[in-house]
A and B are shown apart, each in its own frame.
Chain A
């Protein structure tokens, strides 16, 4: 064969090979495993997010594994990390992030944000960002969040001669209004002035945090080596909570317990006010749409603030498709996706951009405000243990086993032991 033919056949062979390789890259599909607790009320939002992402990125497929119990999600992640085959992305409650990060189980995301030219401080609400930061590194990207507020029934306010446009602004008001709104017949509670969480409800710990922080108290000292919730502010906060139950009797243990589906006391007018998270609005929409109520920032003594909970997406260490997984995170925090997600599950968005959407301004202005003014428990791997200690202290004070001071002192002492480990 002469050299010309050789040259052309060689070139065409090379070109064909290149075309095949490039075509493969185009059609090569990567599957990302995404493990979450986004079930039930969040299922639709999650499905849409995944669908939208897959439409925008046809080469990437998301395999979702859902576990509604956040602890089952957590156990599954633990075992898969032990086995060396963790999912590519996980979404769970933010209090897990410091724990995983502390034990070196997560991939820091700072580098990805930098390379993409995104400033995380600009994108997210500061408070949510803090929850995902540990030791100066960012380990999670918040997907959505929720905050707590005081919901009050305007009709009942009117009935009792209170101005429905003026919810209580501080503790004294709260107590005063609650006493006026409580009805008891022969000692039996007919209508609770204010319904506060107790028992094993998720919002139970948060109400103590709200009271503590709004009284100017702090959970821990600056370097997280000592618990400071048993200072005077903390004791006052716990005592106020206990008094509302036991001394002023404007609420009761057992009131509205385990009742669901439209029979909750606030929904049927048996509680005039209640401490609730943003997800309560979903229930009201579904079961009591005609309820004339309004959310208000929970009254604080020295300042207005409350706890904020976020649900970040984070990346376990040791996975294979990090760059592709990052694409999903980037998509989820874009304005459109973030707004859509929060709307579909009636929660709050995690990005400031999404928070400017008129939907939130109209329907959840109080919660957005709470998000902006909110405080987050400082990230420590021992958070679950300390939360349980605080819960126990609340129980002991509530049931009169110990005084508020004794209960908090004991909890603080044990919390210091926990903090010492980290």
Chain B
């Protein structure tokens, strides 16, 4: 009988014991996740069918909450803004982080200093970062407009422009988060031993072949992680918007989590916030699942 390697593994005798032990391995983490994540999720799911103002007990209204939400243009605008933001944020951040990781994986002089420099945005407090970026984007005295004027280009209103406010925030968020992804890519690159590269080079491969044929495929598990994680992060963008534009001008920068916050805590319409969170959850869940399926079989060696 010719069994595939996988099938052969499945028939080995220690499988029984491994199965029992596996459950012990995941038990502590899973219990924690159940209590502290899924219990609130269940509560949120329930609340999404109610009218809840936090100060009084929730009142059941069934599916009405959802139908009203789907008829609200601000909700759709926030979804649209979140999508536009994600389309800029995810590729931008991943490309830059990967590029930096590749460069800083070499034996360059002062590589630790460089890695630290590119990592500092992650540890800069969001308040200080927003201050600096708002100053950068300042219409009269900001450096960006200053440079544009010197280059004979028209200065822009950045955070006060309906078209440019969201891209401006996207740029800042990419800047802030690329250090984290860079580190993850670096850790992934560390797993690839030099010997493989040596062998390939001896076989006559050039730098380009090495990158496309070896590095990228070997980075698949890492890239998948960064992709899904970036997707989740971008769907939940909130603090930058809260500090820098409060969703304006004219709702051009409000995102779905910003709307959740505003509805739940400022308008005291927790039920609406809960409905939005449920919809967001299912959207992201589906997208992530698609990603995971697409990159299936990420096992090597």
Q: Touch between A and B in complex, CB under 8 Å?
A: yes
Interface residues of A (CB under 8 A from B): 71, 74-75, 78, 81-82, 99-100, 103-105, 198-200, 253-259, 263, 381-382, 384-385, 388, 391-392, 395-396, 398-399, 401
Measured CB to CB, the closest approach of chain A to B231, in angstroms, equals: 28
Q: Are B250 and A257 touching (Cβ within 8 A)?
A: no
Query: Looking at the complex, which one of A103, A199, A255, A384 makes contact with B267 (CB distance below 8 Å)?
Result: A384
- The verdict on A103 contacting B157 (CB below 8 Å), with A259-B138, A399-B162 known, is no
Chain A hits for B209, CB < 8 A? none
Q: Are A81 and B265 touching (Cβ within 8 A)?
A: no
Interface residues of B (CB under 8 A from A): 53-56, 134-135, 138-141, 157, 159-160, 162, 245-246, 248-251, 262, 265-268
Q: Are A401 and B250 touching (Cβ within 8 A)?
A: yes
Chain B hits for A259, CB < 8 A? 138, 140-141
Q: Are A385 and B138 touching (Cβ within 8 A)?
A: no
Chain A hits for B262, CB < 8 A? 388
Query: Looking at the complex, which one of A75, A384, A399 makes contact with B249 (CB distance below 8 Å)?
Result: A399
Tell me the complex Cα distance, A79–B248, Å.
Answer: 28
Tell me the complex Cα distance, A134–B250, Å.
Answer: 31
Tell me the complex Cα distance, A383–B262, Å.
Answer: 13
- The verdict on A200 contacting B246 (CB below 8 Å), with A103-B55, A104-B56, A254-B140 known, is yes
Chain A hits for B141, CB < 8 A? 259, 263
Chain A hits for B249, CB < 8 A? 199, 395, 398-399
Query: Looking at the complex, which one of A103, A257, A401 makes contact with B56 (CB distance below 8 Å)?
Result: A103
Chain B hits for A396, CB < 8 A? 250
Chain B hits for A105, CB < 8 A? 55
Chain B hits for A384, CB < 8 A? 266-267
Q: Sort A-B residue pairs by CB-CB distance and give the 9 closest, nearest first.
A: A254-B139, A395-B250, A103-B55, A200-B246, A258-B134, A395-B249, A385-B267, A254-B157, A105-B55
Tell me the complex Cα distance, A25–B55, Å.
Answer: 35
Residue of A nearest to B68 (CB): A417
Residue of A nearest to B245 (CB): A200
Kindly list 10 other residue pairs between chains A and B, CB separation below 8 angstroms, not including A198-B160, A384-B266.
A81-B55, A99-B268, A200-B245, A253-B139, A253-B160, A254-B160, A259-B138, A392-B250, A399-B162, A399-B250
Tell me the complex Cα distance, A74–B53, Å.
Answer: 13
- The verdict on A71 contacting B140 (CB below 8 Å), with A103-B53, A399-B249 known, is no
Measured CB to CB, the closest approach of chain A to B238, in angstroms, equals: 13
Measured CB to CB, the closest approach of chain B to A395, in angstroms, equals: 4
Q: Are A100 and B55 touching (Cβ within 8 A)?
A: yes
Tell me the complex Cα distance, A103–B56, Å.
Answer: 7
Chain B hits for A392, CB < 8 A? 248, 250-251
Chain A hits for B162, CB < 8 A? 399, 401
Tell me the complex Cα distance, A259–B135, Å.
Answer: 8
Tell me the complex Cα distance, A99–B268, Å.
Answer: 9
Chain A hits for B248, CB < 8 A? 199-200, 391-392, 395
Chain A hits for B157, CB < 8 A? 253-254
Chain A hits for B251, CB < 8 A? 392, 395
Measured CB to CB, the closest approach of chain A to B112, in angstroms, equals: 35
Measured CB to CB, the closest approach of chain B to A120, in angstroms, equals: 25
Residue of A nearest to B158 (CB): A254
Q: Are B54 and A78 touching (Cβ within 8 A)?
A: yes
Q: Are A382 and B139 touching (Cβ within 8 A)?
A: no
30 CB < 8 A contacts A-B: A71-B265, A78-B54, A78-B265, A78-B268, A82-B55, A100-B55, A103-B53, A103-B56, A104-B55, A104-B56, A199-B160, A200-B246, A253-B157, A254-B138, A254-B139, A254-B140, A254-B157, A254-B160, A255-B139, A255-B140, A257-B139, A259-B140, A381-B268, A384-B266, A384-B267, A385-B267, A392-B248, A395-B248, A399-B162, A399-B250
Chain B hits for A74, CB < 8 A? 265-266
Most buried by A among B245, B251, B268: B268
Residue of A nearest to B130 (CB): A258
Measured CB to CB, the closest approach of chain B to A378, in angstroms, equals: 18
Tell me the complex Cα distance, A392–B77, Å.
Answer: 13
Q: Are A258 and B55 touching (Cβ within 8 A)?
A: no
Measured CB to CB, the closest approach of chain A to B145, in angstroms, equals: 9
Measured CB to CB, the closest approach of chain B to A125, in angstroms, equals: 27
Chain A hits for B246, CB < 8 A? 200
Tell me the complex Cα distance, A391–B246, Å.
Answer: 11
Residue of A nearest to B131 (CB): A258
Chain B hits for A253, CB < 8 A? 139, 157, 160
Chain A hits for B140, CB < 8 A? 254-256, 259
Tell me the complex Cα distance, A265–B53, Å.
Answer: 42
Q: Are B160 and A103 touching (Cβ within 8 A)?
A: no
Tell me the complex Cα distance, A396–B162, Å.
Answer: 10
Q: Are A75 and B265 touching (Cβ within 8 A)?
A: yes
Residue of B nearest to A263 (CB): B141
Tell me the complex Cα distance, A50–B159, Å.
Answer: 41
Tell me the complex Cα distance, A384–B262, Å.
Answer: 10
Tell me the complex Cα distance, A384–B265, Å.
Answer: 11
Chain B hits for A381, CB < 8 A? 268
Most buried by B among A253, A257, A384, A398: A257
Tell me the complex Cα distance, A71–B250, Å.
Answer: 21
Residue of B nearest to A395 (CB): B250
Q: Are B250 and A103 touching (Cβ within 8 A)?
A: no
Query: Looking at the complex, which one of A78, A200, A256, A385 makes contact with B55 (CB distance below 8 Å)?
Result: A78
Query: Looking at the complex, which one of A82, A385, A401 makes contact with B54 (CB distance below 8 Å)?
Result: A82
- The verdict on A257 contacting B138 (CB below 8 Å), with A81-B55, A103-B55, A395-B248 known, is yes
Residue of A nearest to B162 (CB): A399
